């Protein structure tokens, strides 16, 4: 009888210690917010364009964490969907065409002589990439523009153009040799 008591007490004591340790850890090391949201947000391209139907990348990341489809981000494109699928251990799916198409990176440019200085685009820009003041000309800081095009609908005089970013020599990408007609060879090998 005593043995039974000892065994029971030992186990109860052990369980109590473990339980209090766990309880302590859950308070001490409490994670603020949902860490998976941040991880998803890292993968999203941060254009803040809202093409997914959410007002920015973070809200979309939150929605994905809640079970929204991962194929609603056209700027992220195929690579983005792949990365999300890998992160969330899901199937790779095609881009949802209702959200838009994957396109080359763009920026917007204001035709400055036509701008009336209404500040509507400034308010619409999610990344503060437009500078100007009321009744003064506005202009886009191109290096900060994500190409989300959110400034275009509010413009009352339609003076904002979408411009494709031209690749420069510095950010030129070596082509995939599998897609080249004639991959270059090593001349010395051919000669000898």
Partner 1 sequence: MSKSIVKSVSSKSIVEQAKGSFHGGIHPAEFKNISNQQSIKDLPIAAQLVIPVKQQLGQTGEVVVNLGDRISRGQLLVKATGILSANIHSPADGIVTSLSPAYVGHPSGMKSAAITIKTDLEQSEGKIFEPIDWRNPSNLEEIQSRIRQAGIVGLGGATFPTHVKTSSREINTLIVNAMECEPFITCDDRMLKDIPKQVIEGAQIVANLVKAKNIIFATEDNKQLSIEKLSEAISKTTESIPMSIVVAPTKYPSGGEKQTIELVTGKQVPSGKIPASMGLLVQNVATLHAVFNAVVKGQPLYQRLVTITGNLVDRPGNYWIAFGTQITDLIEHFNVDVNDCEKVIIGGPLMGQSVTDFTAPVTKATNCLIFNKADKTEKAWLTQTTEHQPCIRCGECEKVCPADLLPQQLLWYSQSDQWENLQQQGILDCIECGACAYVCPSEIPLVQYYRYGKSSLKDIQRKNVIAEKAKKRFDFKEMRIQREKAERAAKHKKAAEARRQAALDKKNDSDGKQQAINDALARVKQKKASVGQAQGVAQTETDEKKES
- Residue number, 156 or 175, with CB nearest to partner 1: 175
State which of residues 127, 137, 152, 159 lies at the interface with partner 1 (CB under 8 A): 127
State which of residues 129, 130, 151, 155 lies at the interface with partner 1 (CB under 8 A): 129
User: How far apart are CB 162 and partner 1 at their closest, in Å?
Assistant: 17
Stretch that binds partner 1, among 9-17, 24-32, 155-163, 178-186 (CB under 8 A): 178-186
Half-sphere CA count of 65, side-chain side, radius 13 A: 18
- Residue 145 marked in a binding site: yes
- Provide the CA 17 distance to its chain's centre, in angstroms: 43
User: How far apart are CB 53 and partner 1 at their closest, in Å?
Assistant: 17
Q: Does residue 35 interact with partner 1 by CB under 8 A?
A: no
Other Cβ atoms closer than 10 A to 176: 8
Q: Does residue 48 interact with partner 1 by CB under 8 A?
A: yes
Q: Does residue 144 interact with partner 1 by CB under 8 A?
A: yes
162 phi and psi, to 5 degrees? -95, 130
Pick from 75, 60, 70: nearest CA to 107: 75
Q: Does residue 33 interact with partner 1 by CB under 8 A?
A: no
Go through the chain and tell me how many residues it has: 192
State the Cα–Cα distance between residues 29 and 21, nearest whole angstrom: 12
CB 159 within 8 A of CB 111: yes
187 phi and psi, to 5 degrees? -55, -40
Q: Does residue 171 interact with partner 1 by CB under 8 A?
A: yes
Other Cβ atoms closer than 10 A to 154: 15
Point out which residues bind partner 1 (CB under 8 A).
41, 44-48, 56-58, 125-129, 144, 146, 167-178, 180-192
The binding site for [4Fe-4S] cluster consists of 49, 52, 57, 73, 115, 118, 121, 125, 145, 148, 151, 155
């Amino acid at each position: 009888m005593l043995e039974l008591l000892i065994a029971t007490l030992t186990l109860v004591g052990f369980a109590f210690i473990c339980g209090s340790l766990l309880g302590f850890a859950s308070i001490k090391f409490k994670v603020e917010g949902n860490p998976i949201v941040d991880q998803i947000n890292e993968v999203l391209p941060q254009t803040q364009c809202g093409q997914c139907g959410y007002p920015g990348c973070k809200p979309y990341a939150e929605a994905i964490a809640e079970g929204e489809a991962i194929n609603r981000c056209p700027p992220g494109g195929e690579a983005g969907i792949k990365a999300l699928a890998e992160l969330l251990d899901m199937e790779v799916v095609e881009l949802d065409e209702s959200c838009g198409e994957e396109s080359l990176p763009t920026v917007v440019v204001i035709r400055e002589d036509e701008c009336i200085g209404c500040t509507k685009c400034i308010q619409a820009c999610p990344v503060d990439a437009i500078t100007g003041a009321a009744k003064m000309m506005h202009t886009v800081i191109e290096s900060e523009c994500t190409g989300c095009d959110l400034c275009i609908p509010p413009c009352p005089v339609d003076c904002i153009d979408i411009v494709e970013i031209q690749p420069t020599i510095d950010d030129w990408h070596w082509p995939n040799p599998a897609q080249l007609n004639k991959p270059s060879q090593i001349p010395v090998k051919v000669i000898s």
